[in-house]
Chain A
Amino acid sequence: AQKVTQAQTEISVVEKEDVTLDCVYETRDTTYYLFWYKQPPSGELVFLIRRNSFDEQNEISGRYSWNFQKSTSSFNFTITASQVVDSAVYFCALSEPYYGQNFVFGPGTRLSVLP
């Protein structure tokens, strides 16, 4: 069975600090997709990134970066120089690739960035 673990329930940082959100996943599939979504207080999940299981290159997008390590089944997310607007709940999710979009979400990490 597929499973996503986000061990950090809540994190608080002061603005401009760097912060890393951890994600560990379990799957027996050799092909799968990993996602990160952000959920601000408005409730709408906002897509941040998708990574397939064959692409282990790290990715950087502005202040955001992602570290995918297949050997440890981890897909961690780092925010550099955090800002108050980054405060939200962040979810890591796993998807099986064939004929379906049954996303398995982790429990989420609530990030609070204090001014």
Chain B
Amino acid sequence: DAGVTQSPTHLIKTRGQQVTLRCSPKSGHDTVSWYQQALGQGPQFIFQYYEEEERQRGNFPDRFSGHQFPNYSSELNVNALLLGDSALYLCASSLGGDRPLSGANVLTFGAGSRLTVL
């Protein structure tokens, strides 16, 4: 049973460029969340997708956008990259992101995509 898979594992971009990161959720999961983890810090919530819609969003600018496909996979897009966007981007999946008490759900994380902005 495959867990959460993310691609690419590493990438290097320059300031001002755009990047797309991809995530396939764990089999049976329908909800995808994205987190940004700067070096030496805890993950910070970016947004969550359920039924192909953004359901919740953290304190991130509009340069961060996403998409969820009918097969539940997801993409994270970041435009106009800044040096401060360098981080490990983690995708997490779960089941039933819009159900009552879904905040109790255990998130299953992928290994992340490490983005370096030069």
Contacts and interface: CB of A to CB of B under 8 A. Distances in A.
Given A37-B109, A45-B92, A99-B99, 9 more contacts: A33-B103, A91-B43, A100-B48, A100-B97, A101-B103, A101-B107, A102-B56, A103-B43, A107-B42
Nearest to B47: A102
Interface string B29-53: 0010101000011111100100000
Nearest to A97: B103
Interface in B91-110: 92, 94, 97-110
Contacts, number: 87
Interface of A: 4, 32-33, 35, 37, 42-47, 50, 52, 91, 93, 95-108
B55 interface: yes
Given A97-B101, A101-B94, A106 B111 contact: no
Of the four ranges (under 10, 10 to 19, 20 to 34, 35 or more), the interface on chain B belongs to: 35 or more
A78 B31 CA distance: 32
Contacts of A108: 40-42
Nearest to A105: B42
B103 A96 contact: yes
B102 A107 contact: no
A35 to B, nearest CB: 7
B112 A43 contact: yes
B8 interface: no
User: Which of A43, A95, A101, A105 gathers the greatest number of chain B CB atoms within 10 Å?
Assistant: A101
A106 B43 CA distance: 8
Given A33-B104, A42-B111, A102 B58 contact: yes
B97 A101 contact: yes
A50 B106 contact: yes
Given A45-B109, A101-B31, A101-B33, A52 B104 contact: yes
A32 B103 CA distance: 8
B96 to A, nearest CB: 10
